[in-house]
Amino acid sequence: DKQAMALNLLVKQKALEAGFDMAGIAPLAIWKDLDFARRGVEQGYGGEMHYLQNPKRDDPRQVLPSAESVVCVGLIYNAPLPYSTESTKQVPTPSALPARKEQSQPEGVRGETPSRGWISRYAWGDDYHNILGNKLDALGDSLRREFPEPFAARAYVDTGPVAERVASEQAGLGMMRT
């Protein structure tokens, strides 16, 4: 309906004003479709990612009972820094390294010349948890001023029991590969 669309646009606008590059809203109805993920975790497909076993991941209302939707945001982190593979710093070759016993060398080093390491773009600069967290706090403050009581929100930067990849996909911010 028109009122819901206007509300969505307002929330997205506030997210952009808070410094995000993109924003979308996911309906809570999507969590009913996560049964397949729960079954996978129960069958052991989560490996050592024990946080996937948290039952709060099944529905955001287990974290925030008054939740009506999930606001998802994105920030482009392609900083104006060189890519790690474009670094001019030279990496020593194995012959220039101090002698080591064969068994103490890490896998992949024996007889190979190290080239360059790859560092993910999000890992350059300040910790993204802090950057995004500050922007989420600003967004929450803005929404609290905009909407009458009661207003409740919880912000997570991949730190809470939320199926954020599913929510982001449903909010139109990307897609998951299967």
pLDDT in tens, the chain (178 residues): 898 899 899 999 999 999 999 999 998 876 766 777 778 888 888 888 888 888 888 888 888 999 889 999 999 877 676 676 666 555 445 454 444 444 444 454 455 555 556 777 777 778 889 999 999 999 999 999 998 788 899 999 988 888 888 888 889 998 766 5
Is residue 136 within 8 A of residue 157, CB to CB? The reply is yes
CB neighbours of 167 closer than 8 A, spacing ≥ 6? 26, 30, 70, 72
Residue 158 annotated in active site:
yes
Catalytic residue among 33, 35, 137, 158: 158
Taking the whole predicted model, whether its pTM rises above 0.85 is answered as no
Phi first, then psi: what are they for 87, rounded to 5°?
-60, 140
